[in-house]
Amino acid sequence: MNATRHGLVHAAGQDQRYALMKASVDGLKPLQVGIAVCDHQGQQVAWEFNFRDFCRLADPHDDKALDYLAERGLDLDTLRNDGVDAYMLGALSWITYAGAYHVAYLLKIVTGGAPLPHEVARFVGAMQ
């Protein structure tokens, strides 16, 4: 396969992956976000923020994902009162450490729940 054709295949794959991620992120509320920092000596600290804005009865979700989180101690009922207000975080500046989904959900929070851009290039531009 020549380089030009390979580039087109890669771009098409990237567009398809972005379309799947966009559909998922646009259709769901963020439930949690993990943040890790590392200093110049390699010391790492990580936090996980669980958001109060999600309602199992009203919001679209994957039961298996919620069951998985519950098995690891996440209590959705407690979060309704004690969780972090996800959209309040939109006024802050954030940097994420990994994954397009993490970045996409952070963009959703920062923009007050607006749908993601339709094209990958605009998504990258919004993140920059």
Every domain of the chain and the residues it spans: 14-127
Question: Do 80 and 52 contact (CB within 8 A), yes or no?
Answer: yes
Radius of gyration of the chain (CA): 17
Question: Do 70 and 32 contact (CB within 8 A), yes or no?
Answer: no
Q: Which CATH class is domain 14-127?
A: alpha beta
State how far the Cα of 8 lies from the Cα of 23, in Å rounded to an integer. Answer: 22
- pLDDT tens sequence for the chain (128 residues): 444 444 544 566 888 989 998 998 899 888 888 877 778 888 888 888 888 888 888 999 989 989 998 998 989 889 888 888 887 766 666 565 557 788 888 888 888 889 999 998 899 888 87
Judge if pTM exceeds 0.95: no
Q: What is the pLDDT of residue 8?
A: 47
Diameter of the chain measured on Cα atoms? 57
State the residue for tokens 């004690």.
82
